[in-house]
Structure 1
Amino acid sequence: MTRTPLRPLARILSARAKGENPDAIERENIRLRHEAMRDRARLRAEGRLLILGAAFIMAFGTVGTRMGVLASTEPAEPQNATPGAAIIAQRADIVDRKGRVLATNLVTHSLYAQPLLMVDPERAATELAAIFPDLDAELLNRDFTGKRKFLWVKKKISPEQMQLVHEIGDPGLLFGPRELRLYPNGAIAAHILGGASFGREGVTSAEVVGTAGIEKTFDRWLRDPANGGAPLELSIDLSVQSTVEDVLYGGMKLMNAKGAAAILMDVRTGEVAAMASLPDFDPNTRPRQQIKGDPSDSPLFNRAVQGVYELGSTFKVFAVAQALELGLVNPSTMVDTKGPMIWGRFKIRDFHNYGPQLSVTDVIVKSSNIGTAHIAQAIGGTRQQAFLEALGLFEPTTIELVEAPGAKPLRPAKWPEITTLTVSYGHGVAASPLHLATAYASLVNGGTRITPTILKRKRAEQGKRLVSEDTSAILRDLLRQVVVRGTASFGEVPGYAVGGKTGTADKPKPTGGGYYKDKVIATFASVFPSHDPKYVLVVSLDEPVETSGTEPRRTAGWTAVPVGAEIIRRAAPLLGLRPEVEPLAASEVIRVRN
């Protein structure tokens, strides 16, 4: 910067020549220099004030924004950083085919204690024992006054209990949020849903994991956040499921049975519309698995899927279906039924004496063991095994329940001809009611195998052909005749053209071999409407006894059939099936002229 001299020589000389005072020039230059210095200082100060103002605006803006964010969020307790993966507590809902909730989540709390923070441990223990009768005050007091720094008091508590604990007022009693699995329909569909419990647990959250049924099969899917909270849709209809369970329970009590199972299945898609097993349980308070005794006596045991039984005369349909398909017989073919049929040291008898011969139709209608055995003899053991295997009766079902893979049918290691004969009428091979329902659906739907599922399907899956359309139509007519004039006459439901087959099998003794004389598994496998099948229903009763007559009656015609008929009568309208007049055969149509 160039500095201007205060007394420039040229101006001094000029001023003296004119008689002016040279000191005035110096004072003027000093004034100008001070004004310039003042202007520069003012500009510098104004710049600094501008920067400081901008800094204040930015600071207050940042603080205001942060305050707004904090005000709009939910308050949460600070958490200590811990190693390991975060606990995923969220779990998707499970709904029926119409979107009605079967399993959902409920926000609740857990109660834990930090004894080091407690003011009056003895009083707190006494008050807690009064709120929770299952707690021991003395044991709690020992825990509170011992060396423990943390202990769970209750893993889940109700809002009312939480308020009562609040009123104790001890700072060492703390609450942690919990997401509880809730089954709003109680015991309905209990064996399908299975149940859930806590897995990994923390103070602020707990992992909900499936323990049985659908909950365990789809545990990973239900906990996957990538699904966006979408519910798992099942094939069952809640209204139909409730109806089936109500009727089955009444039938079990009426028939004095120790247990019962029922399966209602769509014959085209394999979707299970209802599946019941009794006795049952409430998955909200799932009982523990019993260690001793017969597993089938536990309410957790799913008789429809896990129960493997000899299903008696319901197997006769398989022998006749194969013989029809092979061209060995037709409905009017006469079959030898003279009894007893002797094979070595074995004798095969019928429940009644049906005379020397019956048609194939009447072998099914009257349920002749001897007639079915002769048909199976003509088929042969090798072909019989292949057909039963094609029906899925030798392997566990593929239904999406975690219990299904363990329910493998029982079959003899060797297959002599006597086995061929006995298996034809349901003795020697044990399968579950679900196996039976799947096999019947595959035969009456036109002859294509279906795969059972508990999930809602958008379309039917075309399976392997087992029998022709003609054979399937003949089987449907045979089943209808069993209800119209055979062993399942109590199965008639006006308007729904029910067809079906009964099966009464003696229960094998658990030890020592042989069979009980007064304990049976009574089964009714039915289809409706038989001329245009929509659903298959299998009802099975364990050790039923019908006592309305002078003598106890245990056969399926007296026990399982009336229960199945009542289920159809009440469930069919819920399935959208309207009662209709059954079409008459051409020979029964009478032309009338005015």
Structure 2
Amino acid sequence: MTRTPLRPLARILEARSRGVNPDVIERENMRLRHEEMRDTSRARAEGRLLVLGAVFFCAFSVVGLRMGGMASSVPEEPRASASGAGIEAQRGDIIDRDGRILATNMETYSLYAHPHQMIYPEVAARELARIFPELDEDSLKRRFTGNGKFYWIRRTMSPEQRQAVHDIGDPGLLFGPRDMRLYPNGPIAGHILGGTSYGTQDVRWAEIKGSAGVEHYFDAALRDPANGGAPLQLSIDLTVQAALEQVLDGGMKLMNSKGAAAVLMDIHTGEIISMASLPDFDPNDRPHLPTSGHPDDSPLFDRAVQGVYELGSVFKPFTIADSLELGLVSPDSMIDIRGPITWGRFRIRDDHYLGTSADVTKILVESSNIGTARISQMIGAQRQQEFLRKLGLFDPAPVELSEAEVTKPNYQSNWSELTTMTVSYGHGMSVTPLHLATAYAAIANGGRLIQPTLLKRETPQVGERVMSENTAATVRRMLRLVVTEGTASFGDVPGYDVGGKTGTANKLKPSGGYYEDKTIGTFASIFPIRDPKYALVVMLDEPSTHIYGQDRRTAGWTAVPVAAELIRRIGPLLGLRPYIEPASGAAITQASSH
């Protein structure tokens, strides 16, 4: 701003020449300057007041609109914070091969108490004990009347339970929204799915974490925001799984077994179509880990994946395949089966007399321990181990389960000639039913080892070749004879051409040695044998049935009938059309017209 001098020289000189007092000019200029400054300050103040009024108007308008919106909205419980909700929403569903839900999320509520806000704590305690029978009324009263200001009551609850708590009407009982993992099919595929638990949590949100099964193995993928909540598709068929568990449960009870396991695998893709272990559990209400006793006493124990057993004569086809592959024998080669074979204090004998010699086919069909041991002596320890290792029987099963990663087959580090003979017929080496199914799949698919998988695959696997197609085909023909003429005669299912091998092994004692009256009964099968598609292993833990006046514990009387019923039930569900042998020409005699 340009400032005008109070005593301009020109006007002072002019005033003096006219005889006027120059101070008058100074006072006039002073007055004009003050008036200009006053006008400027007033304009600035008016502008500031205008801006401040506009700001207050906008602020009160926003507050008013917000209050109006809240007044017109439907009341609801406070939602979880953005970070918590994001964690919850990231866990994807799990579906079966046809897209049916196996695991999903459901909105629920937690229940907690602020005792200092409660009006009638004794009444609240009594009503809560009535709604939740597992809660102790006296314990609730002590907590509600104590000095605590926060108390967890339930991490989750059903809508009906929440309404019942709401009806109590005590302001000290509060709800927090959260998600829970829901398994709509209950215990079906419980061991495969595993279950979840809560990780980091608050009263209004909770982090869902996998605790076992595929929920644990794929935990990071199921929670990864980059997947956009895409479902995890498994290889299992829910319908087949339900039928398999139903039949297996009936067979276990009928055969008075302690437990049971079954594995159904596609021999070309490696997909596990169904896998079960009994007793099972409901992942919606997963029991606690046992703190005492043997692990397999708990329903959490997965006999198909974690159970490591000596499975007996189901190993004999491996010995036969190895000897055929090495060119040591042919199906018609005669083997000396006179016995018993004595090795120190150990004796190897057959369960029934088969003569002094038998060909390789008969040795497998009639399940001769002596004959198989003789063949293993021809193979030798080193070549036997190499073949079994190629079948994957020395390493954990490579399937997408955390339990499988830590379950390794048991075998002797000092592999003597005696070990070679006993392992040839399934003693002295322990594997899981899943290992066995994988090895039989190699025989079924023409000699290639495929990796078992719980994920749906669209194309066959091209695994490492472990035996020639000719060897695999020869062993398959022998396995068919085991069913039609040998120890698995109860396993023949018309239309499905089942081939397989029985195995009965006495259970190991924890202190060493074997039980005399406790066995593991196993039937490993392939069907349909003329065009193999599936490998099925059925294992019964300590079976016993009374037939024809005798107690029967062998697999031919226990595991085989259960497997046959399974194939009969699931064959149509798998889309397999029964094969019917063409009938011979009808005996029709043409009549003469004469």
Q: Would you call these one fold, judging by a TM-score over 0.5?
A: yes
Aligned match of 2:184: 184
Aligned match of 2:213: 213
In the TM superposition, what whole-angstrom CA distance separates every residue of 1:525-545 from its partner, at most 9, and x where no partner exists?
A: 000011211000000111111
Which secondary structure state, in structure 1, belongs to the residue aligned with residue 545 of structure 2?
coil
1:95-174 mapped onto 2 (5 Å cutoff): 95-174=95-174
In the TM superposition, what whole-angstrom CA distance separates every residue of 1:271-295 from its partner, at most 9, and x where no partner exists?
A: 1011011111111111111111111
Find the aligned partners of 2:508 and 2:230 in 1 and give their Cα distance. Answer: 46
Find the aligned partners of 2:479 and 2:79 in 1 and give their Cα distance. Answer: 67
Report the Cα offset of residue 135 of structure 1: 2.3
Describe the shift of the 1:71–1:423 C-alpha distance in structure 2 as closer, same or farther (beyond 3 A). farther
Letter in 2 for 1:381: A
**Cα pair 2:447 2:469 within 8 Å, conserved:** yes
Aligned match of 1:470: 470
> Are 1:269 and 2:277 an aligned pair?
no
Report the Cα offset of residue 199 of structure 1: 1.6
Report the Cα offset of residue 66 of structure 1: 6.7
Aligned match of 1:237: 237
Find the aligned partners of 2:204 and 2:525 in 1 and give their Cα distance. Answer: 52
Find the aligned partners of 1:251 and 1:124 in 2 and give their Cα distance. Answer: 48
Which secondary structure state, in structure 1, belongs to the residue aligned with residue 306 of structure 2?
coil
Aligned match of 2:381: 381
Report the Cα offset of residue 86 of structure 1: 7.4
Report the Cα offset of residue 332 of structure 1: 1.0
**Cα pair 1:376 1:424 within 8 Å, conserved:** yes
Describe the shift of the 1:196–1:344 C-alpha distance in structure 2 as closer, same or farther (beyond 3 A). same
Find the aligned partners of 2:217 and 2:367 in 1 and give their Cα distance. Answer: 40
Report the Cα offset of residue 591 of structure 1: 13
Find the aligned partners of 1:562 and 1:73 in 2 and give their Cα distance. Answer: 64
Aligned match of 1:12: none
Which secondary structure state, in structure 1, belongs to the residue aligned with residue 448 of structure 2?
coil
Report the Cα offset of residue 122 of structure 1: 2.7
Aligned match of 1:574: 573
**Cα pair 1:497 1:582 within 8 Å, conserved:** no
Find the aligned partners of 1:480 and 1:514 in 2 and give their Cα distance. Answer: 34
**Cα pair 2:84 2:206 within 8 Å, conserved:** no
Q: Unpaired runs of 5+ in structure 1?
A: 1-50
Number of residue pairs matched? 541
Letter in 2 for 1:182: L
Find the aligned partners of 2:253 and 2:538 in 1 and give their Cα distance. Answer: 14
Aligned match of 2:482: 482
Report the Cα offset of residue 145 of structure 1: 2.5
Which secondary structure state, in structure 2, belongs to the residue aligned with residue 89 of structure 1?
helix
Letter in 1 for 2:567: I
In the TM superposition, what whole-angstrom CA distance separates every residue of 1:338-369 from its partner, at most 9, and x where no partner exists?
A: 12123343321111111111111111111111
Describe the shift of the 1:68–1:219 C-alpha distance in structure 2 as closer, same or farther (beyond 3 A). farther
Deviates more, 1:343-352 or 1:467-476: 343-352
Letter in 2 for 1:524: F
Describe the shift of the 1:162–1:560 C-alpha distance in structure 2 as closer, same or farther (beyond 3 A). same
Report the Cα offset of residue 249 of structure 1: 0.8
Find the aligned partners of 2:462 and 2:69 in 1 and give their Cα distance. Answer: 57
1:1-16 mapped onto 2 (5 Å cutoff): none
Find the aligned partners of 1:172 and 1:197 in 2 and give their Cα distance. Answer: 27
Deviates more, 1:376-385 or 1:140-149: 140-149
Which secondary structure state, in structure 2, belongs to the residue aligned with residue 455 of structure 1?
coil
**Cα pair 2:84 2:207 within 8 Å, conserved:** no
**Cα pair 2:85 2:205 within 8 Å, conserved:** no
Report the Cα offset of residue 301 of structure 1: 0.4
1:211-360 mapped onto 2 (5 Å cutoff): 211-360=211-360
Aligned match of 2:404: 404
In the TM superposition, what whole-angstrom CA distance separates every residue of 1:306-341 from its partner, at most 9, and x where no partner exists?
A: 000001001000111011111111111111111212
Which secondary structure state, in structure 2, belongs to the residue aligned with residue 143 of structure 1?
helix
Letter in 1 for 2:473: A
Describe the shift of the 1:514–1:230 C-alpha distance in structure 2 as closer, same or farther (beyond 3 A). same
**Cα pair 1:259 1:541 within 8 Å, conserved:** yes
Report the Cα offset of residue 95 of structure 1: 0.8
> Are 1:549 and 2:566 an aligned pair?
no
Describe the shift of the 1:469–1:243 C-alpha distance in structure 2 as closer, same or farther (beyond 3 A). same
Aligned match of 2:193: 193
In the TM superposition, what whole-angstrom CA distance separates every residue of 1:441-471 from its partner, at most 9, and x where no partner exists?
A: 0122010110011111122221110001111
Aligned match of 1:447: 447
Report the Cα offset of residue 227 of structure 1: 1.2
Deviates more, 1:415-424 or 1:154-163: 154-163
Find the aligned partners of 2:513 and 2:140 in 1 and give their Cα distance. Answer: 55
Deviates more, 1:319-328 or 1:108-117: 108-117
Find the aligned partners of 1:86 and 1:105 in 2 and give their Cα distance. Answer: 13
Deviates more, 1:427-436 or 1:58-67: 58-67
**Cα pair 1:261 1:539 within 8 Å, conserved:** yes
Which secondary structure state, in structure 2, belongs to the residue aligned with residue 351 of structure 1?
coil
Describe the shift of the 1:69–1:446 C-alpha distance in structure 2 as closer, same or farther (beyond 3 A). farther
In the TM superposition, what whole-angstrom CA distance separates every residue of 1:191-231 from its partner, at most 9, and x where no partner exists?
A: 11111122222111111111111111111211122211111
Describe the shift of the 1:52–1:461 C-alpha distance in structure 2 as closer, same or farther (beyond 3 A). same
Describe the shift of the 1:80–1:421 C-alpha distance in structure 2 as closer, same or farther (beyond 3 A). closer
Describe the shift of the 1:533–1:456 C-alpha distance in structure 2 as closer, same or farther (beyond 3 A). same
Report the Cα offset of residue 55 of structure 1: 10
In the TM superposition, what whole-angstrom CA distance separates every residue of 1:21-40 from its partner, at most 9, and x where no partner exists?
A: xxxxxxxxxxxxxxxxxxxx
Describe the shift of the 1:233–1:86 C-alpha distance in structure 2 as closer, same or farther (beyond 3 A). closer
Letter in 2 for 1:553: R
**Cα pair 2:84 2:205 within 8 Å, conserved:** no
**Cα pair 1:312 1:505 within 8 Å, conserved:** yes
**Cα pair 2:80 2:177 within 8 Å, conserved:** no
Find the aligned partners of 1:389 and 1:589 in 2 and give their Cα distance. Answer: 50
Aligned match of 2:11: none
Which secondary structure state, in structure 2, belongs to the residue aligned with residue 207 of structure 1?
strand
Q: Unpaired runs of 5+ in structure 2?
A: 1-50
Describe the shift of the 1:549–1:128 C-alpha distance in structure 2 as closer, same or farther (beyond 3 A). same
**Cα pair 1:87 1:205 within 8 Å, conserved:** no
**Cα pair 1:110 1:156 within 8 Å, conserved:** yes
**Cα pair 1:192 1:214 within 8 Å, conserved:** yes
Report the Cα offset of residue 244 of structure 1: 0.7
Which secondary structure state, in structure 2, belongs to the residue aligned with residue 264 of structure 1?
strand
Percent identity between matched residues is 61
Deviates more, 1:64-73 or 1:411-420: 64-73
Report the Cα offset of residue 88 of structure 1: 1.3
Find the aligned partners of 1:386 and 1:440 in 2 and give their Cα distance. Answer: 17
Which secondary structure state, in structure 1, belongs to the residue aligned with residue 178 of structure 2?
strand
Find the aligned partners of 1:395 and 1:582 in 2 and give their Cα distance. Answer: 42
Find the aligned partners of 2:536 and 2:80 in 1 and give their Cα distance. Answer: 57
Describe the shift of the 1:163–1:378 C-alpha distance in structure 2 as closer, same or farther (beyond 3 A). same
State the TM-score, normalizing by the size of structure 1: 0.85
**Cα pair 2:110 2:204 within 8 Å, conserved:** no
**Cα pair 1:87 1:206 within 8 Å, conserved:** no
Find the aligned partners of 2:132 and 2:63 in 1 and give their Cα distance. Answer: 47
In the TM superposition, what whole-angstrom CA distance separates every residue of 1:162-186 from its partner, at most 9, and x where no partner exists?
A: 2222222221111111211111111
1:387-426 mapped onto 2 (5 Å cutoff): 387-426=387-426
